[in-house]
Amino acid sequence: MFGLFKKEKKEFPKLKIDMFDPVDQPITVATGKELVSNFLLEIGFARDKQDAKEFGMEFVEHLKLDFREVKENFELGKGYIKDCKVEIERIEKEIIELKDKKLKLTDEDEIEEIDDEIEEFKDLLKEEKVELKGHIKDTTKEKTKIENIKNDKNHALKKLVIKYVNNTVHGD
């Protein structure tokens, strides 16, 4: 008897990039918030307009957290770059001082010791420069993410809307 009242689970559609109209037009955060609210209300995931509005506000909060994290990574990267540049400068000064010291020496053993030290510092300098390049690359990526989100370049903001909606609805 109780088998007559089946509870069907409603299947909600997934939001996709081609559902934006027009796809090629950039959106703002305010538009993203509105799109989240409207889509969740339209598919019946949000119970009412107030519920949909709360999802939109939650999206903005998630976006702020993501943006803050990217910005913190960017600032951290800038700090690493500064530290690397200071270390490179220090190593370069050390090499110059050792070369000056070498010019004043006459003993072959002491000259050889200085040459070995200079080579060690040159190797250290190479390592620091490689590390610096890595930090510059990482920091550039973070800066690009910030700009892409702000301008919705390459649909960055739309992708965040899609990610939020699909994660909220489907747990993706």
Question: What pLDDT shows up at residue 22?
Answer: 87
What confidence score (pLDDT) does residue 73 get?
Answer: 92
Residue 1, pLDDT score: 44
Helices (H), the chain: 29-42, 49-103, 108-151, 156-170
pLDDT at 57 over 90: yes
Residue type, 39: F
Note the pLDDT tens digit of each residue in 86-97. Answer: 999 999 999 999
For residue 154, the tally of other CB atoms under 10 A from its CB is 11
With H, G, I as helix, E, B as strand and everything else as coil, classify residue 8.
coil
Render pLDDT for 129-139 as a digit per residue (tens, 0 to 9).
Answer: 999 999 999 99
Helix (H) or strand (E) holding 43, with range, is: none
- Alpha-carbon distance of 138 to 47, in angstroms, equals 42
d(CA 165, CA 114) in angstroms, rounded, equals 64
Percent over 90 (pLDDT), the chain? 76
Mean pLDDT across the chain, nearest whole number? 91
Whether the per-residue pLDDT at 150 is higher than 60: the answer is yes
Contact indicator for 99, 118 with CB cutoff of 8 Å: yes
Percentage, residues of the chain above pLDDT 70: 95
Q: What is the pTM of this model?
A: 0.72
pLDDT at 134: 95
Structure tokens at 116: 């070995």
Euclidean distance between CA atoms 26 and 149, whole angstroms: 10
